[in-house]
Structure 1
Amino acid sequence: MQQQGPIGVFDSGYGGLTVLKEIVNTLPQYNYIYLGDNARAPYGNRSFETIYHYTLQCVKWFFQQSCPLVLLACNTASAKALRTIQQKDLAKIDALKRVLGVIRPTTEIIGLHSRSGKVGIMATNGTVQSQSYKIEIEKFYPQLQVYQQACPLLVPLIENGEHENAGADYFIKKYTDELLAKDPGIDTVLLACTHYPLIQDKIKKLLPVGTEVLAQGNIVAASLQDYLQRHPEMEKLINRGGKLKFYTTDSTSDFDAHGTVFFGKPVQSEHVELEG
C-alpha cells in the first residue's frame, strides 16, 4: 500500500502561488506543499537542458516528501521539462506517481473563449521559444490563429515589486501593443505566466473593449479537480486536513514578503537545500 502524502506544487519562484491560491479555494480539503526554486530563478531565459535538470531535481524532492502528485505551476518548466519527465523519468523513479503541468488545461479550453478565432499568448521568452502553446492549441483547435508575445521584463518587474509603478506601465503597454500589432482581431489573450495575474487589470485596460483576458489559476484548479474525479486511485493517495507548507531554495524572509503578495494571504516558508 502506497503511503499517502500532500499534493506538491512547484514553481521557479513566486508565480505558482497564484495557481496554488485558486487550487486551495477549489479543493481546500487536501494538504499541499509548495516549493519555489528562487535561488535559481528565473527559469525563463535558461536552456532546455538546464530547466529539465532543475525541474527533475525539484520533482524528486517532492517525491521524497511523499507527494503522489506534483503540479508544475510554472509555464517554463511545463513547456521545457514536463514531457521528458513524464515519458522518460517517472517509470524509473516511481511508476505510480504523476507529474502534471499548466499548459494542457489551458489549451483545452482556450478555443471556447474566442469568437474571432484569433488568440494571443503573453509569456516568458522560454515559453514562447518552446512553441508549446501553439503546438498544444493546434491539437484541440486547429482552426485558431495563435500569436505569441514574449514579455521578458515583466517577471523581474513583478518580483521586484515594481509592477505598480509607471516604469512597469511602459513595458506592459509596449508588450500589449506589440501583440495587437500582429493582428488587431485578437479577442482573447492568455496570460501564460503565473506572475501576470498581478498585472491582469493593467493588461485588460490596454486591450480593446470586449477582449477576454484569461489567467491560469482557476483553469488549472478546475482541471485538477476533474483529474482527481477521473482518477480515484490517485485521489486516495492524497492526504487531507487543509494544511499548507511552503519551501524556498533562497531567503525565507524574501519569499514570505513576496509570497504573501502572490498568494493573497500570509506565507511562512522554510529553507531547503537541493542535492544532486
Structure 2
Amino acid sequence: MQNSSPIGIFDSGYGGLTVFKSIAEQLPQYNYIYLGDNARSPYGDHSFETIYKYTLECVEWLFDKGCNLVILACNTASAKALRTIQQKDLPTKYPGRRVLGVIRPTAEVINTYTDTNKVGVMGTRGTVNSESYLLEIKKFYPNISVYQQSCPMWVPIIENNEHLQNGADFFVKEYCDALLAQSKDIDCVLLACTHYPLLLPKLKAVFPDYINILTQGDIVAKSLVNYLQRHPEMEMNLGREKQKSFYTSGDPIVFDEHASIFFGKKLASLKM
C-alpha cells in the first residue's frame, strides 16, 4: 500500500463531477484524482464487453497514479463493469486495492425515500438494460417495485449545455411522462445517471410535488465516509494535503469549459 495515496474518481465524462463535488465537501481532507474518459464517452449505448474494457483501462491508469481506492462515479460503468473488476481483476492482479460503485450505496437506502414502495429509475440505456437497480434493490427490499425509464437524449443535451434551455423541455417531459405512465403510485424517482442532477429545475417543474427526486452525490459520499470508518487500513494510507487533480482522455480545454457546470468552479485539467 502506498502512503499519501489519492482517492480515484472515475466517470465516462463529466457527470461524475457531481458525485466528486459531494465527496470533496464531506471529506475535504484527502487527495483526489478525477479521470473523465471524454474521448470515448458516452458509455450508455456500448456493450458490456466494451464498457468493461474501457473502465478497466481507466481504473488501471488511476492505480498507476497511486490510487489504492477508486470510485466509479458512473452508473453505466458501475452496472456493466464493476462486478467483473471486483471478482476477476482485483483478486488476481490488484489484491490490495479496491473499486467501489454508485449502485449498491443507493440501493441500500432507497427505502427511506418511498412510502408507496414504488420507485422510478431514470438512466442511460446501458444502466436500464443491465437491470442492476432492479436486482440490487430487490436484494435489500423485496417489497419495493422498480419501474425503469431510459433517457438517451439527456446526456447529449447536458454535455452541450442545453439542459436549461427551452429546447430541452420536450425530452424532459417525454421521459418523465413515460415513467409515470408505468405506475400512478411512484413517489420516488432516482436519477441513475450522474449527469441528471443538472436537470433538477426542469424535473421539479414536471414531476408532482409529492415525488422525491433522488440524486446520488450525497448518498455516495456518505457511503464512502462509512466505508473508510470500517476500513482503517485503507484510510490510514490516504494522502491529506487536500489536493485535487483532474484528467481527461479528451481535450483538456474542452473538458474545462464543460466541467465547471458540473463541479461548480473552474478547473484546470490535464491530458490523460
Deviation, structure 1 residue 208:
1.3
Please name the residue that 1:24 is paired with: 24
Separation in 2 of the partners of 1:161 and 1:113?
Answer: 30
Deviation, structure 1 residue 3:
3.7
Aligned partner letter, 2:171: F
Aligned partner letter, 1:167: G
Deviation, structure 1 residue 165:
1.3
Match of 2:205, SS? Answer: helix
Matches within 5 A, 1:262-273: 262-272=262-272
Separation in 2 of the partners of 1:4 and 1:84?
Answer: 28
Deviation, structure 1 residue 92:
2.0
Could you list the runs of 5+ residues in structure 2 that have no partner in the other structure?
none
Please name the residue that 1:249 is paired with: 249
Separation in 2 of the partners of 1:68 and 1:249?
Answer: 21
Please name the residue that 2:202 is paired with: 202
Please name the residue that 1:188 is paired with: 188
Deviation, structure 1 residue 167:
1.5
Please name the residue that 1:121 is paired with: 121
Please name the residue that 2:81 is paired with: 81
Separation in 2 of the partners of 1:217 and 1:252?
Answer: 24
Please name the residue that 1:69 is paired with: 69
Please name the residue that 2:142 is paired with: 142
User: Does the Cα contact within 8 Å between 1:118 and 1:188 map onto a contact in 2?
Assistant: yes
Match of 1:210, SS? Answer: coil
Deviation, structure 1 residue 93:
1.9
Deviation, structure 1 residue 249:
0.4
Aligned partner letter, 2:115: R
Match of 2:193, SS? Answer: coil
User: Does the Cα contact within 8 Å between 1:4 and 1:68 map onto a contact in 2?
Assistant: no
Aligned partner letter, 1:166: N
Separation in 2 of the partners of 1:243 and 1:212?
Answer: 34
Aligned partner letter, 2:80: K
Q: Give the TM-score normalised by the residue count of structure 2.
A: 0.99
Deviation, structure 1 residue 140:
0.6
What is the root-mean-square deviation of aligned Cα atoms in Å?
A: 0.8
Deviation, structure 1 residue 241:
1.1
Q: Give the TM-score normalised by the residue count of structure 1.
A: 0.97
Please name the residue that 1:235 is paired with: 235
Separation in 2 of the partners of 1:2 and 1:208?
Answer: 49
Please name the residue that 1:178 is paired with: 178
Deviation, structure 1 residue 210:
1.4
1:109 correspondence with 2:109: yes
Deviation, structure 1 residue 197:
0.5
Aligned partner letter, 2:235: E
1:168 correspondence with 2:172: no
Determine what percentage of the aligned residue pairs are the same residue. Answer: 60
Match of 2:239, SS? Answer: coil
Aligned partner letter, 1:172: V
Separation in 2 of the partners of 1:213 and 1:174?
Answer: 17
User: Does the Cα contact within 8 Å between 1:12 and 1:43 map onto a contact in 2?
Assistant: yes
What does the per-residue CA deviation read over 1:44-87, in whole Å, with 9 as the maximum and x for residues that have no partner?
Answer: 00000000000000010000001010000000000000000000
Please name the residue that 2:95 is paired with: 95
Deviation, structure 1 residue 166:
1.5
1:158 correspondence with 2:171: no
Please name the residue that 2:45 is paired with: 45
Deviation, structure 1 residue 216:
0.3
What does the per-residue CA deviation read over 1:71-115, in whole Å, with 9 as the maximum and x for residues that have no partner?
Answer: 000000000000000000002222010000000000000011100
What does the per-residue CA deviation read over 1:194-250, in whole Å, with 9 as the maximum and x for residues that have no partner?
Answer: 000101121122111211000000000000000000100010121111110000001
Aligned partner letter, 1:87: Q
Total equivalences in the alignment: 272
User: Does the Cα contact within 8 Å between 1:9 and 1:34 map onto a contact in 2?
Assistant: yes
Please name the residue that 1:260 is paired with: 260
Could you list the runs of 5+ residues in structure 1 that have no partner in the other structure?
none
Separation in 1 of the partners of 2:204 and 2:140?
Answer: 26
What does the per-residue CA deviation read over 1:141-188, in whole Å, with 9 as the maximum and x for residues that have no partner?
Answer: 100010000000000000011111111111000000000000011000
